[in-house]
Structure formats: structure tokens, C-alpha cells
Structure 1
Amino acid sequence: MTFAFNVMLLKYVILNTDISSASGIGVLLSIIVITFIITFTSFSFLALISPVILKTFLIVVTILNSAAIHFMGNYQVVLDRTMIGNILNTQKSESIELISKDLVFTILILGLGVSCIVLIFKISRIDRRVIIRNMFIAFTSSVIFLYANASSWLWIDKHASVLGGKILPWSYIINTARHFSSINKTTNGQKPLANGHFLDNNKTVVVLVIGETARSANFSLYGYSKLTNPKLEKESNLLILKNTKSCTTYTTGSLKCILSPNEASVNEESLPTYLTRHGVDVQWRTNNWGEPPIKVSKYINANELSSDCEGKGCKLDEVLLTNLIDAIRSSEKQKVFVILHTKGSHGPSYYSRYTQDFNQFTPVCRDEEISKCSPEELINAYDNTLLYADHFLSTLIGELKSLSDASTAMIYISDHGESLGEYGLYLHGTPYAFAPDYQKDIPFLLWASDAFLAYKQINISDISQAPEHSQFNIFHTVMGAFGLSAPIYDRERDILQNAPSENE
């Protein structure tokens, strides 16, 4: 278990130390000893309880380890708590996309094959005194060695977050427990934010589109060489916010930030709940998952919209636009807030995130083992998803323009970025401290109708951008758009307040 199932752990140590030096060898030996003593001690405790329990546990973790090795080797996955959250919250349809021939082969040979060997061993009797003695000897010897090799502790402490996500099977066991201990599916107990009041009763509609896995590096709006935003580039009244970073590299964490006013309030009342409490008609439409506990006027899953959807995109994000304008028009409230949580560019099956009409960049990667695709094929498939997102947003803007009796605005921001093979990394979810900018730099767009800009007495071209932006800008920009005044409102984070009034 220490060596065969921790190849990726040991490989990481070798690649990040000078293994030819005494200090590098000391670090490697320390990691081996730590892995061994944790594993040996834990297995010994199980043996003290029952050899049958130990045997069952070994079989289960052997199979799980084989699957973990496959993803760690092919996608450079680190099984920390956030990654476990991603795995456990992944929809069935997305999980199926990750099944490949290599995964099945690895589980059959390394998982079930080794499990069969464990299964055939017969345990005739168990001497608990011997087990306790061996545990004491192993633990004492390991502590003495690690103390004598204390010079390696600094390196281990520096890389602890990555090491903890690579040691098998304890990475996914411990972090699964940590994940479930942090889950709160209701808004009960959430600290409410301070009450506010509306400064006007103007009919206002704001649509927040939460993108998935879109990175700004591949948006032509941000200077990318390929035309991935042909329709949005033709839109007037479009503000392109620069230098925007996600607060995490995974969906659930980033959604908390998008819906929170600041870093200190990510576990308090979220934006949809706050607005609902203030009488806003809040409608959440989702083709994704991972939102924090919320209270809204209406929560609609994509499956509930599919029966009324028409067109080629009904199995994709376009389903979220089904009867959207009718739903807005039928609202009796003066303030309407709609959140569209898209599936966007979620990998690894990028080719399945757009209709054939948007298969413009070719050849494309059609293998779930994306590390096997050429860089050109992989990037082409990903870029096609952005073409489709461009079409989705442009269609939405066109529909909002039809609401002539209201001030309308659309905000688009991605939850996080994506790695497409740079530095040997794929997908997302890399611990933030080690994640490349490709997983952090995200697009942030705002479109507003002429009526909205006239009522606010601002001009898009006059808005002075901040040096950098974050997902926390969303909360305050939405509040400002609705004219909601409250102690939590931060004018400096409202991007629309950085433009001089036409009266100034």
C-alpha cells in the first residue's frame, strides 16, 4: 500500500526535491515512513477489531485506489477536500463522461486483480498481543527516525496541502469526512445581512449568468487570436471587465463568492436569499449544481424546462432560456432577478457542450482521456464551447431587449477557469496556492439596455475600471442595479458606480 498505491505521491516528492542530495533523500524517506506508519497503524487497529473488517476494508480501498491513481495520473488530480466536493457533487451525466477504457482496465488489473489476492488469503487466528507489540515497535521507530530527520519537516510543511491530497487511501477518506462535516443544505442558522430599502420603484430586470469553466485567456473579447466571441463583439452597451480572478478553482466555493458581499460573509445569507427577503422576484434556473443553501421565489431545473423547449440546444444551456421572457413578463414584482447557472465549458467532454453548428474549430478532441489528444484538438474543442456560450449570451441579450417596459441588464461571470494541458495540468480544482492563472483568470461581462443606462444616467464607455475585479463585485453591482441601499452595500465594488453621471 505504501509503494504500489502511492506512486503519484512519491513521484511528486522526487520531482520537487533534489533527490541526488542528502536533504532530498531525507525528505523522500520521511514521506515513505509517514505513509507507512499511518497505513500500518490504521490497518492494525482494524485487525484488532476483526480480521474480516480489515479484509473488507482492504478490498474496498484497493479498488478505490486504482480509480484514484487513474485520475491522479491522467488529470493531475489532488484529492483534497475541495476536489472531493467536486466529485461527490458531480452529476451522473458528467460522471459517465469520465469513464474510459483505461479507467476500466486500471480498475480490473490494479483494483480487482489485487483484491482477489487479498480475498484468497486465509486468516486462521489472530494474536492481538502481537499486533499491539508490532504497532508499538513501528510507531516508536518511525517517531525516532522522523525526529532524527527533522530537517525535512520544513519542506513537508510547505507542501502539506498537496501531499495530503495524494496519499492513498487516506486523502479521499479523510477529505470525504471533512466534506460531509461542512455540508449545510438549509438556510437555517445563516446569519441574515442588515436590512435595506429600495431608492426607487422602477421596473428593473437583472439576469446573472454564471458560466462554468470559462477562462478569459480564450475569449476574443480579451484579445485571444481566435474569434470565439463573434456575436458579443457586435453588441453595444457591453462592458468587458478586465483582470478578474475567481476566488477558488472549483464550482461550489466560487458560487459562494459570487453570491456573497465579501470574503468574511461567504457562509452567511446569500444574494438570492437576501433579495427574496426584500421582496424581489428571484428565479433560479440551473443546468448545473453546487449552489449554496438559498431561498428563492422559484427554483427550476433544466429537466423541468425541456418539455417546452424547441431547437437543437434543448439538451444544452439554451434550455434555460425556455419561456424566460414570458416568466419575467408575468411577474407582478417591480424588481426581477434571474440566475441562469449554465454547464458552459465543463470538461472533459468539451465536444458535447455545443451543437454541430458551433463545431467551427477543427479537428477536435473526442476522447475523454483528454491527455491523449493533441493540444490543437483539445483547445479547438474547448474554443467551440466558448462559441456556443457567445451564442447563448447574445440570444439572451436579444430577448432582454424585447422588454421595452423595463430597465434590463445582464451580467456574466464564470465560476473558475480551466487548464488545457499547460504545465501538465488538465481540468480545474488544483489547490489555489498552486493553481496556474488559467484556472483563476475568468471573463466578467455586463450588458445594459438603453433604458437602464438612461435611468441610471450613465454611459458604458465612461465607466472607469478598477485595477482588478473579483466575484465579490457581483453582489454590490446587483444591489446598485436594483437601487437597494443597505449597510452591506459597498459602492467601490459596484462597477456601475465608477462612471460619472450625465448630470455631473
Structure 2
Amino acid sequence: MPEILKNIHRKIFTSNLQITHFALLVSLLNLVFFHFPFFGFVLNNADYKSFIGIVLIISLIIAVLLVNAFVFYLMLFLSRYLGKFLLVLSFLISAAAVYFINTYHVIIDENVVGSVFNTTYEETSVFLSFTLILYIFLLGVIPSIYIIRTKIKKDTWKHFLVTSSLTLLFIGLLVIANANSLPWFHKNYKQLQGLMAPWSYTISTCQFYSHKHRSDKKEILLPDATIKDDEKAVVVLVIGESARKQNFSLYGYGKNTNPLLSQVPNLSHFPATSCNTYTTATLKCILRHDDTDDLYEILPNYLYRNNVEVVWRTTNTGEPPIHIEKYQTRNSLMKYCKGGGCNYDEILLTGLKEQILASKRNKVLIILHTSISHGPIYSKKYPPRFEIFKPVCNRVEPAECSREELFNAYDNTIVYTDYILYNIIEDLKQLSEYKSAMIYISDHGESLGEKDIYMHGLPMSIAPKEQYEIPFIVWVSEGSKELKTDEILCQNYVFHSVLNFLHIESPVYNEKMNIFK
């Protein structure tokens, strides 16, 4: 038996393989390990019983195998060492990517890549699980050892040109053979790209950095604003995280997740939709005056530049560049906070009333960027005393929990949100010199297993309503403002409503997107 194992080891690792054979073998491993979700999507969305559908599926299998093999071959021909390094890197990343696709049913697009690059270690660490490690070891580490140890023969330029030409010609013939399926490809392009390793994260990373480079350019300043009176006014804008409208009892949810807010006078709630399903994009929608990709000045920067006291407090990430003096994180607030709540989002309330009273300006905007309902382990986002609904899900893979456990854990985050908003309102009630408003809006919603989808981040073209139907809750102090009765709001309403409440005149102000009478 030891001799047999030695022979197998010798044949696998010590024999010199042609680059073409090695590239095809690695591409086959890539196909088998990482493309089950891809072909699962194809089978669910193509007519595999028809002749055209059969041709499509067979062609896709061959195309995925050949395209990856050609790229791998090209890398190894140019540099065997660099090619092997890139192959190892792609297998390790693909192993993690397919875990998240299988576990959370995400599509690896620019949104997901942006969330990865904008997250913190604390947020990332909650995803660590034995299953993830197993995926990386079995599908990433083991094939990487084979890639590193296998010896490859050098190839000639003549053989390279012949091989490349024949491969590209065959791929071209496959495209021609599937000309009738081009509308299907166009319709499902985003999903297909987002499930194909290693192109899902490779292309999306390039798109992310391309857009990031563009967004890092100097923002376009808005026309100067004018403060119309000396009356003291304050708005506390609370930006929620992953809070979906369906689970707020204010909107008719069966469980009482808003026991405090439901008793508050002068409180209104509106149905609303987010402009996207991930934080980076939706924050821009909340803070900009219009739904545009142009790099216009955002609300906190604009008001700070026009002599409004602006404070930004955050326990979250994914924020656009904030150009104000008082930008406060969890770490900077921790030294002033006391009690068990300091480890949770109520740390954002530390000394809030006192900070407003200490302001030397009459107009004040406070922005609290929370992280309360962010998954996957919702039960870690609130203090133990807020575990009202039991039993709860404590697993990193939500699909392993029952529907009741998952919803209970998530609903407890909404109860905790209710408590925080109630305390903000109670603080504002004590500011008798100020006309006050509290505006709460979530960045996006959250999927809790509907259609086997979890969390958020799907492209808007295929995102379920759970990921974009959000709460928009407003409280105003007695005698300050009355509210309109709009049907469905969007996130851009925030910019213009804040300007209206603070009595700030601006050329970009849009009365149609103001919630106050």
C-alpha cells in the first residue's frame, strides 16, 4: 500500500505536465468546485427540455471550461510563478465566495464587493464559522497545494499561438451556435456573471475601484444656502441598518415590536423604498438632494459649510466622505459612556442632549448611523434584556435555524431600535427652547429566508421587496411642524425635509420632496 501511494504521489506531483493539460485540469476543478450555483441558476431559468435549452446548457459547460482554461493557460505561459500565485489566490477566494453564495444566496457583484471592502474586522468576524473554514480548506487549500507542487513544462510560442487561436475559434463557434439564446443571456447577465468564478469577484472588484476612484474626486459644491431665521431648531436623523418595514408593528406587523413608539404623540410613519440594497449606495441617496450619480455635496457637508451645527455619530461603515468637525465613532464615544449599553448602539445617545445644548448655533443637525439589525447573527446586536421574543437564532448560517428562531432574533433588533428612538424623542422633549424633529429611515431592508434568500445586497433588478421596503418614521415637537400625507416616500426626501424644518433656503430645495407642511 505505501508503494501504491508513492506511485500516485509521483504521478500527480513529480511528472511534468504540459501547460495546456494543467490549465484544462485546473479549469475542470474550478468548474466542479465552484459552479454548482451557476448551473443551478441556468437549470431554473432555461428551458432545459427543449433542443435550444439542451444546446445552451452543454455550450455553457464547455464555454466555462474553455474560457477559464484559456485564461489560466495565458497566465501560466507568461509566467509560471505568477500564474500559479494567481491560481492559488483565485481558488482561495472562490472557496469563500461559493460558501457565501450557497449559505446566503447572494450574487457576487459590485455591491457585495463594496460591502466587503467597506466593512470592519468586527463586522467580518461574525461570519467566521466551521463550515466556512471547511469550504476554504477543501475547495481552496487542498487544490492550491496541488497547483503549487505540480511541475509544468515550458511551452513554445508556436504552440501557444496555435492553441490560443483554436480555443478562441471554438469559443466563437459556441457563441454563434447559441445566437437564438442571446436575449436570454442579456436578461440574465448580472446573475450569470455574479455566479461565475473567478469572474464574479474579479470584474466586480475592477468596477468597484473604478467607481471608487471617481467618487474620490472633489465633490461638486451646491449653491450657498441661507438660514431664514434665528429660531432654535434641531433635527436628529437616525439612519437604520437592514431594518425592513414588514417587521415594524407600526406598519401592521403581528408582533408588538414597537411598544414604546406606538404610545408617542406626534409620531407619523410613511411607507418608503430604498434606492438600492446595500449601505454605500443608499447612504448617498439619503444624504443627496437628488437621485443622481454626480458627486454633489451631501447634506452634512452642505449644512456645515452653511453655518449649521452638524454632528455625525456612527457605529457603522460604508459612509461617503464626511467633511465636518464633529465626527464621532464608537471609540471616541466610549470614554464618556457608562453601563452595559455602551457595547451596543445606544452608545450613540451618550451626552446627546448636552451636546445639543452646548451648541453655539441655532440650527443643529445630528446624524446617528446605527448598525442594529445587521446580520447574520442578529442576537448579538441588542442587550440581553431586549430578548423579548424567544427562542432566537444564534448561528452564523441563518438557514440552519428555524423560521421562528430567525424572526425572533431579528424582531428583537426592531424592539431595541424602538427603545433607542423613544429615548431620542424623550431627550428632545426636554429641549424646550428648540423646535425638534426626529427622522428615522433605514438604509435598506433585509431578507429572512423568503425564497431561500438571506440578508441583503441583491441587484435592484432582482431584489425582493423585503430588501428595499423600509420604514420612514417622523416625530415632531409640539407646535413645530405638521406633516403631509404622502403615499410612498423615497430616501431623497430626507435632504429637503431637513432643510424645510431648519428653515434653510436653498436653490436646490424641492418642495415636492418635503414631508412637512
| In structure 1, C-alpha distance between the alignment counterparts of 2:294 and 2:465, rounded to whole Å | 23
Corresponding residue for residue 469 of structure 1: 489
Which amino acid is the alignment partner of residue 499 of structure 2? M
- Pairwise CA distance, 1:15: 1.1
Q: Does 1:89 align with 2:118?
A: yes
CA 1:112 to 1:375, structure 2 compared with 1: closer, same or farther past 3 Å?
same
Q: Deviations over 1:398-442 (max 9, x none)?
A: 111111111111100000000000011000001111010000100
Cα distance in 1 for partners of 2:215, 2:269 equals: 35
Following the alignment from structure 1 to structure 2, what is the Cα–Cα distance between the partners of residues 28 and 482? 59
Shift of 1:27: 2.5
The residue type equivalent to 1:465 in the other structure is T
Does the aligned pair in 1 maintain the 2:267–2:476 contact within 8 Å?
Answer: yes
Q: Give 1:223-372 correspondences, 5 Å limit.
A: 223-242=252-271, 244-264=272-292, 267-372=295-400
Q: Could you tell me how far apart the structure 1 residues matched to 2:390 and 2:31 are?
A: 44
Q: Which amino acid aligns with 1:231?
A: L
What residue in structure 2 maps to residue 502 of structure 1?
none
CA deviation profile, 1:455-483 (whole Å, cap 9, x unmatched): xxx3xxxx442221100100000010111
Does 2:511 align with 1:486? no
Q: Is the aligned partner of 1:141 residue 2:170?
A: yes
Q: In the alignment, is the contact (CA less than 8 A) between 2:387 and 2:412 conserved in 1?
A: yes
Matched, 1:387 2:415: yes
Alignment of 1:195 with 2:224, yes or no, is yes
In the alignment, which residue of structure 1 is the partner of 2:439? 411
Q: 1:265, 1:172 → 2: CA distance?
A: 23
Q: 2:49 aligns with which of 14, 17, 20?
A: 20
8 Å Cα contact 1:203-1:406 kept in structure 2: yes
CA–CA separation in structure 2 for the residues paired with 1:274 and 1:307 = 29
Contact kept in structure 2, 1:186 and 1:293, CA below 8 Å: no
Note the C-alpha offset of 1:184.
Answer: 5.0
Distance in 2 between the 1:78 and 1:10 partners? 14
Q: 2:515 matched to which residue of 1?
A: 495
Partner of 1:501: none
Q: Which residue of 2 aligns with 1:7?
A: 36
- SS at structure 1 position matched to 2:197: coil
Partner of 1:155: 184
- Hey, what does 1:52 align to over in structure 2? 81
Distance change (3 Å), C-alpha of 1:265 and 1:62: closer
CA contact (8 A) 1:27 1:156 kept: no
- How far apart, in 2, do the equivalents of 1:187 and 1:476 lie? 25
Q: CA deviation at 1:266?
A: 5.5
Query: Which residues of 2 match residues 26-41 of structure 1 at below 5 A?
Result: 26-41=55-70
Letter of the 1:235 counterpart:
V
Cα deviations across residues 348-367 of structure 1 (Å, max 9, x unaligned)?
01000111111010110000
Aligned partner of 1:101: which letter? F
SS at match of 1:299: strand
Aligned length: 488
Range moving further from structure 2, 146-155 or 468-477: 146-155
From 427, 442, 467, give the equivalent of 2:470.
442
Whole-Å separation in 2 of the counterparts to 1:155 and 1:367: 38
**Is the partner of 1:264 in helix, strand or coil?**
coil
Aligned to 1:500: none
TM-score, normalised to structure 1's length? Answer: 0.94
What is the letter of the counterpart of residue 383 of structure 1? D
* Structure 1 partner of 2:26: none
Cα distance in 2, alignment partners of residues 465 and 349 from structure 1: 36
Whole-angstrom distance in 2 between the partners of 1:106 and 1:84: 19
Alpha-carbon displacement from aligned partner over 1:357-396 (angstroms, at most 9, x marks no partner):
1101011000001111011100000000000000011011
Counterpart-to-counterpart distance in 2, 1:226 and 1:331: 40
Q: Alpha-carbon deviation of 1:17?
A: 1.3
In 2, Cα distance between the equivalents of 1:77 and 1:265? Answer: 24
Q: 1:430 aligned to 2:450? A: no
Matched-pair contact (CA < 8 Å) for 1:43–1:54: yes
In the aligned structure 1, how far is the partner of 2:94 from the partner of 2:217?
Answer: 37
Specify the code of the residue in structure 1 equivalent to 2:497.
T
AA of the residue aligned to 1:489? Y
Cα 1:184–1:207 shift into 2, 3 Å: farther
In structure 1, stretches of 5+ residues that fail to align are 498-504
- Provide closer, same or farther for how the CA distance between residues 184 and 449 of structure 1 changes in structure 2, counting only shifts above 3 A: farther
Change (3 A) 1:127 1:265: closer
Q: CA deviation at 1:185?
A: 9.3
**Alpha-carbon separation, structure 2, partners of 1:30 and 1:232:** 57
2:154 matched to 1:125?
yes
Deviations 1:279-332 (CA, angstroms, capped at 9, x unpaired): 111111000011112212311111111121112211111111111111111110
- Work out the CA distance in 2 between the residues paired with 1:315 and 1:378: 22
Write the deviation string for residues 152-174 of structure 1: whole angstroms up to 9, x where unpaired.
11101100011111110111012
Q: Is the 8 A contact 1:288 1:341 kept in 2?
A: yes
Partner of 1:2: helix, strand, or coil? Answer: helix
Shift of 1:33: 3.9
Q: 1:192-224 CA deviation, whole Å, 9 max, x = no partner?
A: 112221221111111100000000000000000
**1:265/1:449 CA distance change after superposition, 3 Å:** farther
SS at match of 1:442: strand
8 Å Cα contact 2:63-2:174 kept in structure 1: no
Query: Which of 111, 120, 123 in structure 1 is aligned with 2:140?
Result: 111
**CA distance in structure 2 between the partners assigned to 1:255 and 1:156 by the alignment:** 32
CA–CA distance in structure 1, aligned partners of residues 236 and 397 of structure 2: 36
The residue type paired with residue 203 of structure 2 is: I
Contact 2:270/2:487 (<8 A) preserved? no
Separation in 1, partners of 2:174, 2:414: 53
AA partner of residue 482 (structure 1): L
Q: Which stretches of structure 1, 4 residues or more, deviate above 3 A after TM superposition?
A: 184-188
Task: Assess if the C-alpha contact under 8 Å between 2:232 and 2:434 holds in 1.
Answer: yes
TM-fit CA distance, 1:131: 2.4
- Identify the residue that residue 400 of structure 1 maps to in structure 2: 428
Once residues 202 and 110 of structure 1 are traced to their aligned partners in structure 2, the CA distance between those partners, rounded to angstroms, is 64
Structure 1 pair 190–433 and aligned structure 2 pair: CA distance change class (3 A): same
The separation in 2 between residues aligned to 1:336 and 1:133, in whole angstroms, is 70
**1:277/1:186 Cα in 2 relative to 1: closer, same or farther (>3 Å)?**
farther
CA distance in 1 between counterparts of 2:93 and 2:357 reads 51
Report SS of the residue matched to 2:423. helix
